[in-house]
Structure 1
């Protein structure tokens, strides 16, 4: 059986060793990077199954690395788990809104970390293969370039708004509950239903007169309908 490869981007040697030890014990293959630049440089010939990412790194910090991964089509589907001493609600929300799939604070339980890694890998394995271009009415979504066009004009979307639009365009007519969208984005952790409402509101605003294509389903969530 092929081992899943986990990238650990962590500048504290003792933390990196603890994480590595517990993952190797569970039959994962690991590669450890002590700074953000060495990890980014490795991506020319390295494609991990999951990234465990500290925020407070020398040079390029974890937030910048996450932003890069989630805005690059080649890497956008790699699950990112933040492992950080920054433990305020604001820190968690910022990380998750950048596109991270989970957020665990230090100090942490190694067993919980391994469980979250397994859960993220299961979720990523269930994601449907996507075509590079999606079209629905006046909206064109280019998954390879991570761009969306409205009547031929590029729309400036955040990573979360882009992923929301992609989900809606791929599933016209399907009703998504807020809980389902929270689970797809963040595993339902650390965020409340209102978070989805805020992102949908921002997406509708950027779609202008076509924002009404994203319809509210009272008491449930949203659907995209031409």
Structure 2
């Protein structure tokens, strides 16, 4: 499967150059010109790695990395910082923010590709069986963001994946819509509680062909519960 890299860089010529180099190396690329675009992209997909420029129009790369690492559903994504800042203190700041590697501009595309490969290898080696959740023949792999039933892949959106992930991690407990919003969407996200119902419905539709929709139970007047043995 082709690995996906999110490239967060405000200078279009650099994005184009890096996009071309990454494509030639066999990677699929997503592009974001600022922090807001990057956050939108991360709400829609789960890349295998992020290349992050330090200086962005609406935030610093440092701030964005810290935000990503606080997000339990994206904190596993490795980040390589790209920047013209090359002092020792800058490198320490970048690495302490949560970056997995630090590459100073100007750099060779070949060197960057080698660093990407090294970071991805390290990240893969950190993945363990603890990252796989199961309920009967339903299997959720947090490392690859893949959900299968009897070996058949389910096409879930990022929100449905996060919702199923949270419920499988916390089985047999009833959660209100407000609590699910806090844990799955985040405390600083302002959406209506009925949004939860919409995504529960979508998730159930994805599980229904195997009759696994019954694992997600509605508790009238309270919220929802995941019952793995139902």
Report the Cα offset of residue 60 of structure 1. Answer: 2.0
Which residue does the alignment assign to 2:27? 28
Q: Deviations over 1:103-141 (max 9, x none)?
A: 001000100000000111111111133748xxxxxxxxx
Q: Shift of residue 75 of structure 1? A: 1.1
Normalising by structure 1, we get a TM-score of 0.56
Which residue does the alignment assign to 1:61?
60
Report the 3-state secondary structure (helix = DSSP H, G, I; strand = E; otherwise coil) of the residue aligned with 2:44: coil
Who wins on radius of gyration, i.e. which is larger? Answer: 2
Output the aligned Cα RMSD: 1.5
> Moved runs in structure 1, 4+ residues, more than 6 A?
none
CA-to-aligned-CA distance 1:4-31 (integer Å, 9 cap, x gap): 0000000011111111111100110001
Does residue 84 of structure 1 match 2:77? no
Equivalenced residue count is 132
Equivalent position of 1:195 in the other structure: none
User: What's the offset of the Cα at 1:44?
Assistant: 1.6
The unaligned stretches of length 5 or more in structure 1 are: 133-143, 145-226
Q: Map of 1:104-183 to 2, 5 A cutoff?
A: 104-129=103-128, 131=130
Alignment TM-score, normalising by the size of structure 2: 0.55
Aligned to 2:146: none
